[in-house]
Structure 1
Amino acid sequence: MDHPVVLKYNRAVITAVALLLFIPGCNSQAPATTTATSTATQPPSQVTFGQLASAGQAVYASRCASCHGNAGQGAGAPPLWGANSHLSDLGNAQLLLSFTSGSMPPGASGTISRQNHIEIAAYLLLQNGWVTQTEIFNESQLSSILLR
């Protein structure tokens, strides 16, 4: 006669093994690596300057507008777009990003994330007409975007 604890244990083991064999994705023959492989071969998502600028507009409003004005016209700090803007003096978009990342806001640089600086730069580039909404953002190509 089987002992009830051993019998109960054996049934539990048999049930667990059966479930592992019949539940998709739980046995070694399931195509678990297929998903990982197919996602790895998909191209990375591309973000446009317009998408970055949308986020940048909100960051600009909360972190930059108090000094540079809601419309970039300057309000105690230089204007950032329009006829009186001197951003073109920076030369290219990479230098713009480096300048803002390293010195903005004054006395509190480092309090805005790198991603937020990229979003603000995209917003400024778009406001000045140096990029279009649909252009794909590529940080390695910022130095080729001339500020004129």
Structure 2
Amino acid sequence: MLRPGEKAIQLTRSLSICLKLILCSKIATTLEGVKKMSTENHHLKEAKKLYQKALEEFEKAEEKNDDIVLRDACGKGWLSTIEATYALLVKKGVKEEELPKGGDRGRRYMVHKYAERELKLYYSSLRDDLHIEGYYEGTLSFEEMERNLEDLNLYIKKIEEWEGVSQ
């Protein structure tokens, strides 16, 4: 049996332990939020960098009227789309290690599961035009590529603006 003074000391210690656990939990939650934002920002940064490279290559392709360089621009545009999509998925709560890395099927599934209708349409259109018609088939015209680059820029901006995360 504890004396009255010992009860107060034991209660104080228990309260101190509880407060430390609550504080640790809050710190862990904050760190997880910082990590998530860092991952989002990384993917958005990559998307923007690849978008700029796609623009530069498109300008070279147009200047030289070179279909091979245009295909390279399409490839970079598609990679930019993928990075922007990863940023969206992370914003929606998908962990980095759960992002689909193995191919388009998993990415399409995740986009259809997590993205709003408008972003799904952008993703599908960019995939078909940049990845399939532009890169693989080489059938995308310069005019179509210019429109797709505008769409890609909008896609990135819409993802960046979703819940106000920006660079």
Normalising by structure 2, report the TM-score.
0.25
Q: Which is higher, the Rg of structure 1 or of structure 2?
A: 1
Structure with the larger helix share: 2
